C-alpha cells in the first residue's frame, strides 16, 4: 500500500527519499512523488509521476537538476496506491496547500473529506486532485498561525478516518511533522539527522534505532531530535527500539525475484521460527511471548483465529491443529467480517490475530473488537513492533525475516508452524500425553528439512510449471489439512500469474464446479499421504474422466497416484500436521514458474499491495 518517507539532516534529502521509496516499492503502488525544500530560495519543489520509481528518478533529474538537488536537506516522498481517484500525476502525493508553503503525504482514508472539501471550496480553496488527502494540506494552511505542530494537530482533530502523515513547510526549514492514526509511522533516530517512514524497511539502511508512533501521536522531527505529543499537545514518551533486520536482508541476494528468494529462505525461516521453542524432553513448546502458564492455557475453552488472505488460510490450518492436537473448538474468521458481526466472545475465548505485516486494517480492528469484549488476545506476527504486535502486547513472532514480495510465502509456512507450536502448548496443558507431545515436537524439529527436500526439486517443478503456463483457468483440490493448502495454492497462482484459479474442497467438486472441467482446465490435486488422501485420489479420477490434465502433489513412494496424474510433484513423508509446509513450498514454486513463463511482474502484481492498511 502507500508508502511515506521523509528526511531531515545534513545529507542530500533527494537521494535518501528516492532510495526509501525504492525500498517500499514491494508494498505495491501506481504513482509516486516527492517535495523538497530548496535551501537557496526557501521554496518547496515538488516532482510527481504516474508510474514507478525509475520514472520519478528521471523526472527528478530533469526538474531538480544539480545543484538544486544538492541544496535540499529536508524533504518528503510518497508511493501511492490509488483509492480515491485514478493513479494520475495530479492525484499523486505530495499535495501542496493553496499558498504552496505546506506539503503533505498521507496514507489512510479521510472519511469525511467531502464535507471538509465543500467547506474549504466555500472559503476559496481550489482543489487540483480527486483525492481525500488534499484536504489535509488546505486544512493545515487554514489552521496555521506560525506553529506547524499545532496546525497539523488542529487539522487532524477535524478529520474522521485513518492517517499516517508527514508534513513539511517552507516556513520551517528544518522541521517535519508526522502523525498517525490507524496507519503506521516509524521514526528512524540518527545522529544529527532523522527519518520518518511508514515502513521500517525504508529506515534500516540508515539506522536501526526506531520509535513507533501510537495512534493520535504527533511528532516534530528536526535534525537534533524528535518530540512526540498527543493531538491535545500532552507530551508522550515512546520506547526507542532496535530493529534486528540487516540491510542485506532486503536485497535479492542473486535471485531473480524476492518471491523466489523468500521461497528458498524457508528452511532457514522455519529453523528461526522453532529455535529455542521446542522442549523435546517434556514433549511441549515454550513460547515466552504469550506470557501464559499451563493453568492459563488450560482455562481457555475456545480459540478464534482472525486473519486475511494467506494468513487466513494459515489460520484454517491452525483450526485443524487446535482441534486435533489440543481438543479445542476453533473458529477461523475473515477479519473483515469479524469486526462487522456481533462475534460471540466468551470469557474463556482466546483470539489469535494472524498477520505477517501486523498492519492489516481489518485484522487490527478484529483485535480491538475482541479486546473490547474482554477476550484474551494474542498476536501472531512477523514484523516486530508492528501495530498488532504492540496492541496485543503478547503473542508469538514468526522470525521469518522481512517478506518483501507482495505474494506471501515464507510467512505462511512459519504461521503454520507457530500455530502448531501453540496448539501443542495448549494440548499439553489439557489432555495431550507427554509421549504424544514428544512425537509432535520431534516432527517439528525436522520441518526445515521438509522444505529443503522440496526445494531440491525446483528444476522438475519448473518443467511441470512451464507445461501449464498457457492455462486460463485452474483448480486446486484438497481435503482435511490439504483443503486450506489447496486454497492457498490457488491464491498464489492467481495473484502472480493472473490465471483464474479456484481452490475447492475436493468433495465440493461434484456440487457444481465439475461442470467447468475440460481438457483446457488443469487440476492440481493436493494428495500427500495424509488423512483423506484416498478420497481425493478418487476425485482425481473424476477430473481425468472429464479430460482435465491432473498435476498431483503426492508423497514420495506413493505410486498409486501415478496412473491418475499427468504430472507429479513429490513431497517427503511427514506427519499430517506438518504436511502443509512441504506442499505449500511445491505450490509456491509451481505458481512462481508459471508466472515467470508468462512474463508477469512477480514481486509486484498489478492492483496488489503488500500490506492492506485500509478496509
Ligand atoms: C497473499 C497475501 C495477502 C496477505 C493478506 C494479509 O499472498 O500476501 O493475501 O496474506 O493481505 O496480510 P497480513 O498477513 O500482513 O495481515
Query: In ligand 1, which atom is closest to the CA atom of 308?
Result: 6
Same domain assignment for residues 274 and 241: no
Question: Would strands 102-107 and 163-169 be described as parallel, antiparallel, or unpaired?
Answer: antiparallel
Least confident of 112-116, 300-304, 609-613: 609-613
Does 608 reside within a domain?
no
| Phi, psi (degrees; rounded to nearest 5) at 36 | -125, 150
Number of domains in the chain: 3
Beta-carbon neighbour count of residue 288 at 10 Å? Answer: 10
User: What H or E segment, with its residue span, contains residue 387?
Assistant: helix 387-392
Sign of the CA dihedral running 314, 317, 321, 327: positive
Query: In ligand 1, which atom is closest to the CA atom of 309?
Result: 9
Identify the CATH number of the domain in which residue 75 sits. Answer: 3.60.20.10
Span from the CA of 356 to the centroid of ligand 1 (angstroms): 7
Sign of the CA dihedral running 57, 60, 66, 68: negative
CB of residue 497 inside a 6 A radius of ligand 1: no
First-to-last C-alpha distance (Å) of the chain: 12
Span from the CA of 480 to the centroid of ligand 1 (angstroms): 22
Span from the CA of 308 to the centroid of ligand 1 (angstroms): 6
Same domain assignment for residues 210 and 115: yes
Out of 250, 276, 305, pick the residue that ends a domain. Answer: 250
- The secondary structure of 399-451, three-state, reads CCCCCCCCCCCHHHHHHHHHHHHHHHHHHHCCCCCHHHHHHHHHHHHCHHHHH
For 213-344, list the strands marked E by DSSP.
217-222, 225-230, 240-242, 278-279, 284-285, 302-307, 330-334
Which of 201, 257, 262, 309 has most ligand 1 atoms within 8 Å of CB, for mutation? 309
Does 503 reside within a domain?
yes
C-alpha cell at 497: 500469474
Is residue 2 part of the annotated active site? The answer reads yes
Identify the CATH number of the domain in which residue 575 sits. Answer: 3.40.50.10490
Rounded Cα distance, 210 and 195, in Å: 9
Tens of pLDDT, residue by residue over 207-228, are 999 999 999 999 999 999 999 9
Q: What is the pLDDT of residue 441?
A: 98
Span from the CA of 251 to the centroid of ligand 1 (angstroms): 21
Rounded Cα distance, 60 and 47, in Å: 6
Q: How confident is the model at residue 614 (pLDDT cuts 50, 70, 90)?
A: confident
Same domain assignment for residues 196 and 181: yes
Does 613 reside within a domain?
no
Which of 332, 356, 603 has most ligand 1 atoms within 8 Å of CB, for mutation? 356
Beta-bridge mates of residue 500: 473
Same domain assignment for residues 65 and 214: yes
Same domain assignment for residues 40 and 176: yes
Q: How confident is the model at residue 246 (pLDDT cuts 50, 70, 90)?
A: low
Distance between alpha carbon 249 and the CA centroid of its chain, in Å? 17
Beta carbons within 8 Å of 117's beta carbon, 6+ residues apart: 127, 134, 135
Cell 475453552 locates to 301
Q: What is the average per-residue pLDDT within 606-614?
A: 77
Does 426 reside within a domain?
yes
Span from the CA of 604 to the centroid of ligand 1 (angstroms): 13
Same domain assignment for residues 493 and 555: yes
| Phi, psi (degrees; rounded to nearest 5) at 328 | -110, 125
Q: What is the pLDDT of residue 248?
A: 64
Q: What is the largest CA-CA distance in the chain?
A: 79
Is residue 308 part of the annotated active site? The answer reads no
Query: In ligand 1, which atom is closest to the CA atom of 409?
Result: 7
Beta-carbon neighbour count of residue 459 at 10 Å? Answer: 8
Catalytic residue among 2, 72, 414, 543: 2
CB of residue 407 inside a 6 A radius of ligand 1: yes
Same domain assignment for residues 30 and 74: yes
Same domain assignment for residues 453 and 570: yes
Does 614 reside within a domain?
no
Q: How confident is the model at residue 6 (pLDDT cuts 50, 70, 90)?
A: very high
Same domain assignment for residues 242 and 121: yes
The answer to whether the beta carbons of residues 445 and 280 sit under 8 Å apart is yes
C-alpha cell at 129: 486532485
Question: Would strands 330-334 and 302-307 be described as parallel, antiparallel, or unpaired?
Answer: parallel
Which of 257, 308, 379, 416 has most ligand 1 atoms within 8 Å of CB, for mutation? 308
CB of residue 386 inside a 6 A radius of ligand 1: no
Tens of pLDDT, residue by residue over 403-442, are 989 999 999 999 999 999 999 999 999 999 999 999 999 9
Rounded Cα distance, 399 and 494, in Å: 27
Span from the CA of 70 to the centroid of ligand 1 (angstroms): 39
Same domain assignment for residues 431 and 513: no
Span from the CA of 354 to the centroid of ligand 1 (angstroms): 10
The answer to whether the beta carbons of residues 245 and 200 sit under 8 Å apart is yes
Tens of pLDDT, residue by residue over 75-91, are 999 999 877 778 899 99
The answer to whether the beta carbons of residues 380 and 423 sit under 8 Å apart is no
Cell 536537506 locates to 73
Query: In ligand 1, which atom is closest to the CA atom of 610?
Result: 8
Rounded Cα distance, 90 and 88, in Å: 5
Out of 220, 250, 280, pick the residue that ends a domain. Answer: 250
Question: Would strands 523-527 and 550-555 be described as parallel, antiparallel, or unpaired?
Answer: parallel
Which residue would you say has higher pLDDT here, 383 or 104? 104
Out of 395, 410, 445, pick the residue that ends a domain. Answer: 445
Rounded Cα distance, 102 and 121, in Å: 18
Tens of pLDDT, residue by residue over 12-27, are 999 999 999 998 887 7
C-alpha cell at 421: 507450536
Cell 542530500 locates to 12
CB of residue 357 inside a 6 A radius of ligand 1: yes
Span from the CA of 611 to the centroid of ligand 1 (angstroms): 7
Cβ-based burial of 305 (10 A; exposed 0-12, middle 13-18, buried ≥19):
buried
Which of 360, 413, 498 has most ligand 1 atoms within 8 Å of CB, for mutation? 360
CB of residue 408 inside a 6 A radius of ligand 1: yes
Catalytic residue among 45, 181, 492, 610: 610
% of residues, the chain, pLDDT over 90? 85
CB of residue 555 inside a 6 A radius of ligand 1: no
Tens of pLDDT, residue by residue over 38-56, are 999 999 999 999 999 999 9
Q: What is the pTM of this model?
A: 0.80
DSSP 329-355: -EEEEEHHHHTTS-----TTEEEEEEE
Same domain assignment for residues 551 and 505: yes
Query: In ligand 1, which atom is closest to the CA atom of 363?
Result: 16
For 436, the domain range is 252-445
Same domain assignment for residues 49 and 183: yes
Amino acid at each position: 500500500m502507500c508508502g511515506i518517507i521523509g528526511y531531515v539532516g545534513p545529507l542530500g534529502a533527494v537521494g535518501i527519499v528516492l532510495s526509501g521509496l525504492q525500498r517500499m516499492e514491494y508494498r505495491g503502488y501506481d504513482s509516486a512523488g516527492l517535495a523538497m525544500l530548496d535551501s537557496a530560495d526557501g521554496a518547496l519543489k515538488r516532482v510527481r509521476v504516474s508510474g514507478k520509481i525509475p520514472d520519478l528518478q528521471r523526472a527528478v533529474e530533469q526538474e531538480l537538476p544539480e545543484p538544486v538537488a544538492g541544496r535540499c536537506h529536508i524533504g518528503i516522498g510518497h508511493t501511492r496506491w490509488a483509492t480515491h481517484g485514478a493513479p494520475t500525476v495530479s492525484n499523486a502525493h505530495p499535495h501542496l496547500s493553496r499558498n504552496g508553503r505546506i506539503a503533505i503525504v498521507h496514507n489512510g482514508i479521510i472519511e469525511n473529506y467531502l464535507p471538509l472539501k465543500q467547506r474549504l471550496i466555500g472559503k476559496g480553496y481550489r482543489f487540483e486532485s480527486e483525492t481525500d488527502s488534499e484536504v489535509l494540506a488546505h486544512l493545515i494552511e487554514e489552521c496555521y498561525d506560525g506553529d506547524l505542530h499545532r496546525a497539523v494537530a488542529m487539522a487532524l482533530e477535524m478529520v474522521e478516518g485513518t492517517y499516517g502523515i508527514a508534513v513539511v513547510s517552507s516556513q520551517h526549514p528544518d522541521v517535519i511533522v508526522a502523525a498517525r492514526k490507524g496507519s503506521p509511522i516509524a521514526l528512524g533516530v540518527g545522529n544529527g539527522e532523522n527519518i520518518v517512514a511508514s515502513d521500517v524497511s525504508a529506515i534500516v539502511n540508515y539506522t536501526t534505532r526506531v520509535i513507533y508512533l501510537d495512534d493520535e501521536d504527533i511528532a516534530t522531527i528536526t535534525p537534533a531530535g524528535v518530540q512526540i505529543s498527543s493531538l491535545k499537545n500532552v507530551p508522550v514518551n515512546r520506547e526507542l527500539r532496535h530493529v534486528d533486520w540487516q540491510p542485506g536482508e532486503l536485497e535479492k541476494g542473486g535471485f531473480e525475484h524476492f518471491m523466489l528468494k523468500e521461497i528458498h529462505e524457508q528452511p532457514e525461516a522455519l529453523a528461526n521460527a522453532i529455535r529455542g521453542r521446542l522442549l523435546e524432553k517434556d514433549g511441549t513448546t515454550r513460547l515466552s511471548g504469550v506470557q501464559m502458564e499451563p493453568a492459563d492455557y488450560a482455562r481457555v475453552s475456545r480459540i478464534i483465529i482472525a486473519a486475511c488472505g494467506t494468513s487466513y488460510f494459515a489460520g484454517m490450518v491452525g483450526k485443524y491443529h487446535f482441534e486435533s492436537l489440543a481438543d479445542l473448538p476453533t473458529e477461523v474468521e475473515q477479519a473483515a467480517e469479524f469486526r462487522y458481526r456481533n462475534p460471540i466472545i466468551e470469557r474463556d475465548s482466546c483470539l489469535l490475530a494472524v498477520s505477517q505485516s501486523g498492519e492489516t486494517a481489518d485484522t487490527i480492528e478484529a483485535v480491538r473488537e475482541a479486546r473490547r469484549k474482554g477476550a484474551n488476545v494474542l498476536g501472531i506476527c512477523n514484523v516486530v513492533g508492528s501495530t498488532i504486535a504492540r496492541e496485543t502486547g503478547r503473542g508469538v513472532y514468526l522470525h521469518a525475516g522481512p517478506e518483501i514480495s507482495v505474494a506471501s510465502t515464507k510467512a505462511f509456512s512459519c504461521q503454520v508452524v507457530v500455530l502448531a507450536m501453540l496448539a501443542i502448548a495448549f494440548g499439553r496443558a489439557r489432555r495431550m500425553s507427554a509421549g504424544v507431545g514428544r512425537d509432535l515436537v520431534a516432527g517439528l524439529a525436522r520441518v526445515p528439512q521438509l522444505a529443503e527436500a522440496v526445494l531440491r526439486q525446483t528444476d522438475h517443478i519448473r518443467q511441470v510449471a512451464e507445461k501449464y503456463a498457457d492455462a486460463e483457468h485452474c483448480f486446486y483440490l484438497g481435503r482435511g489439512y490439504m483443503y486450506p493448502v489447496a486454497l492457498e495454492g490457488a491464491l498464489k497462482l492467481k495473484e502472480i500469474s493472473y490465471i483464474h484459479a479456484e481452490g475447492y474442497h475436493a468433495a465440493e467438486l461434484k456440487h457444481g464446479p465439475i461442470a467447468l472441467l475440460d481438457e483446457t482446465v488443469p487440476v492440481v490435486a493436493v494428495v500427500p499421504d495424509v488423512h483423506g488422501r484416498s478420497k481425493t485420489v478418487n476425485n482425481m479420477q473424476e477430473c481425468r474422466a472429464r479430460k482435465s490434465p491432473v498435476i498431483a502433489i503426492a508423497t514420495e513412494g506413493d505410486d498409486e497416484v501415478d496412473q491418475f496424474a499427468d504430472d507429479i510433484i513429490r513431497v517427503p513423508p511427514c506427519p499430517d500436521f506438518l504436511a502443509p509446509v512441504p506442499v505449500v513450498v511445491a505450490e509456491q514454486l509451481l505458481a512462481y514458474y508459471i508466472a515467470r513463463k508468462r512474463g508477469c511482474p512477480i514481486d509486484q502484481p498489478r492492483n496488489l499491495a503488500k500490506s492492506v492498511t485500509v478496509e
